[in-house]
Structure 1
Amino acid sequence: MFVNQKQTKFGMSKLSERDISGLIQLSASVGWDYDEQEIRTVMSAGTVYGHKNEQGTIISSAAMISYAEKLASIGMVIVNDSYRGHGLGKELTEACIRSVPDDVTIMLIATKEGKPLYEKLGFDTITCVHKLISDNYVAFHQEDGGLEYDVLPLTDIHFEQVRAMDRDAVGADRGPFLAVRIRQARQGVVVTHRNGNLAGYGLGIAGPVNMILGPIVATNHDVACCIIRELAKEHQGRLRIDVPDGQALFVRSLEKSGFVKESQPPIMIKNSSSLPERNHTLFGIAAQIFG
C-alpha cells in the first residue's frame, strides 16, 4: 500500500477493484455518474489514488492514466464535501504528478472549482473542450462531399488501423486503453473508403445518465457527422459528446441535430508548453478523464 507521509489524519493509498462500490458512492455524492464499468476501465488503463476515513469510507479520489510514456491524463479528482479543506485534492494530484517521469506531458480537463488548485501546481490552460448534451437528437443530413465509404461495425480486424489513426489524432499511442474501451462500448463503428482505408471510427459508451459519444476520430467533418448519425440513430435517451476546440463546423452540425452546449471546460497541461502534435482529426474525446 502506498501511504503518503505528509501530516494528515487520512491515509492515502492506491485503490483497487475492491473499492469500486465506494468510488461509485463518492462520485454520486458530488453529482457525478461514474458506474462500475467506467471505473473498471479507468483501473485497467491507469492508477486510482484515494483517501479513506477511520471507518474505511472512501472520501477522495484521483486517477492517472498514462499513454506510452508520452502523455498522461489526470481525472476523477473528487473530494467529499464533508472533507474539503484538508488538502486532500492537492495531495492526490501531487501523487499523480509524481507517478510519471518529468518529461511526460500531463493533461487534465479542469472543473471551475479545481482550476485554482491546478494553477498552483504548475498547470497552464492551453485550450478547451465543448461539452454538448442532447435529449432529443434528430439526425442532421448534409452532402457528404462526394465521398464513397462504408459504415461497418468495429471488429478486431480493424483494431490496428484504429490504433494508428487514434495515435495520430491524440499524439500518443493509446492501444491498451482502446482495447479496454472498445470492449466496454455499447457500439463501435468504423468508416472505410471503398479501397479499404480507414476514414474514421467512433464508440458509444452507455452510462447511467448519458451515452457518451467518443472517441470520434475522422478524416473530415462529413465522416465525423456520419459516425454520430450511426451511433445515435437507435439510441433512446440522453447523448453527450465533448468536442475539442477548433471543430466549430462540427459543433454547429451537432447543434442543428439537437445538441446544446452546456459548458466549455479548460484543458490544462504541465511539463510542456503544448500537447503532443496532433493532426486535427479528433472530433470527440473519449471522456474528460481520458483526455
Structure 2
Amino acid sequence: MAWNSYRFDEFTAQELYNILKLRVEVFVVEQNCAYPELDGLDAQSTHIVYQEQGEVLAYARLVPAGEKYELPSIGRVIVRKEARGRGLAKELLERSIRHIHEQWQEPEIQLQGQEYLKGFYASFGFEAISEVYDEDGIPHIDMKRSVKRTADES
C-alpha cells in the first residue's frame, strides 16, 4: 500500500500505462463518454497515485496554474470501481489539496467536477463558480477553494 506523487518524467512506461488504462476504463468505458482523454496536460502535471500490489486504485492529476485555468486545478479524480467505499477518494482529495498548498504555495484551487459530486467537493471547501453545464454528455460544474489567510500569515 503506497501513496506517491510523481512528475510525468518520473513514471516508468508500465506505471504510465497503468494510469492511462484506469483513466480510460473509468472515464471513457464505465461512464460511456467518448472524449479526448489525452489532452496534453499530463507532462506538466503532478500525479497523485495510490497503489496496492502494483495496481492503481486511486489517482488524481494536479495541473499547475496557467496551464488549464488561471488557478492550479485538480482533475482526473478516480477510484477504481472495486476499491470504492474505502475512503480513498477522501484521502486522495486531502493529499491533492495539501500538495497544492504546501508544495506549490497556492492559496486557491479550481476544479471541474461532475455535478453529482458537488456535495463531495463542497465538503472540502470548494464552492460553485458556474452553473451546471454539459461536458461531453455529462453534467459538470466549476468549483473553487480558497484558503482564508489570517492576519499573521499576510
TM-score by length of 2: 0.71
Query: What is the letter of the counterpart of residue 98 of structure 2?
Result: R
Change (3 A) 1:82 1:27: same
Q: How does 1:179-190 map to 2 (within 5 A)?
A: none
Aligned twin of 1:266: 141
TM superposition shift of 1:115: 2.3
Q: Deviations over 1:129-172 (max 9, x none)?
A: 63366xxxxxxxxxxxxxxxxxxxxxxxxxxxxxxxxxxxxxxx
Match of 1:51 in 2: 50
- In structure 2, the residue matched to 1:17 is 11
1:122 to 122, 125, 150: 125
Quote the Cα distance in structure 2 between the aligned partners of 1:31 and 1:108.
16
Cα contact 1:128–1:264 (8 A) shared by 2: no
Q: Distance in 2 between matches of 1:103 and 1:64?
A: 12
2:114: which partner in 1?
111
Deviation at 1:272, TM superposition (A): 6.5
**In the alignment, is the contact (CA less than 8 A) between 1:72 and 1:104 conserved in 2?**
no
Q: Mark the CA change 1:28 to 1:116 in structure 2 (over 3 Å): closer, same or farther.
A: same
CA 1:124–1:132 in structure 2 vs 1: closer, same or farther (change >3 Å)?
A: closer
Whether the aligned pair in 2 keeps the contact of 1:63 and 1:76 (CA below 8 Å) is yes
Deviation at 1:90, TM superposition (A): 1.4
C-alpha distance in 2 between matches for 1:100 and 1:61: 15
Which structure's CA Rg is the greater one? Answer: 1
SS of 1:26's equivalent in the other structure is: helix
Kept after mapping to 2: 8 A contact 1:50/1:58: yes
Unmatched segments (≥5 aa) in structure 1:
1-9, 134-261, 274-291
**Structure 2 CA distance for partners of 1:87 and 1:268, relative to 1, 3 Å:** same
Distance in structure 1 (CA, Å) of the matches to 2:48 and 2:107: 19
- CA deviation profile, 1:227-271 (whole Å, cap 9, x unmatched): xxxxxxxxxxxxxxxxxxxxxxxxxxxxxxxxxxx3441111100
Partner AA of 2:64 in structure 1: S
Q: Which amino acid aligns with 1:118?
A: Y
Question: CA 1:103 to 1:47, structure 2 compared with 1: closer, same or farther past 3 Å?
Answer: closer
* TM-score normalised by structure 1 residue count: 0.40
The equivalent of 2:25 in structure 1 is 29
List alignment gaps of at least 5 residues for structure 2: 29-34, 149-154
Partner of 2:86: 86
Sequence identity of aligned pairs in percent?
24
Distance 1:92 1:67, change over 3 A: same
Mean Cα displacement is larger for which, 73-82 or 26-35? 26-35
Which residue identity is paired with 1:46? S
Counterpart contact for 2:133–2:141, Cα < 8 Å = no
Flag as ranges the 4+ runs of structure 1 deviating above 4 A. none
Distance 1:14 1:108 in 2: 19
The answer to whether the Cα contact below 8 Å between 2:72 and 2:106 also exists between their aligned partners in 1 is no
Shift of the 96–52 alpha-carbon distance from structure 1 to 2, 3 Å rule, reads same
Measure the CA separation in 1 of the matches of 2:27 and 2:139.
18
Distance in 2, Cα, partners of 1:24 & 1:34: 12
Q: Distance in 1 between matches of 2:72 and 2:81?
A: 27
1:67 to 60, 65, 69: 65
Whether the aligned pair in 1 keeps the contact of 2:5 and 2:47 (CA below 8 Å) is yes
Q: In the aligned structure 1, how far is the partner of 2:61 from the partner of 2:3?
A: 13
* Alpha-carbon contact 1:46-1:65 (below 8 Å) kept: yes
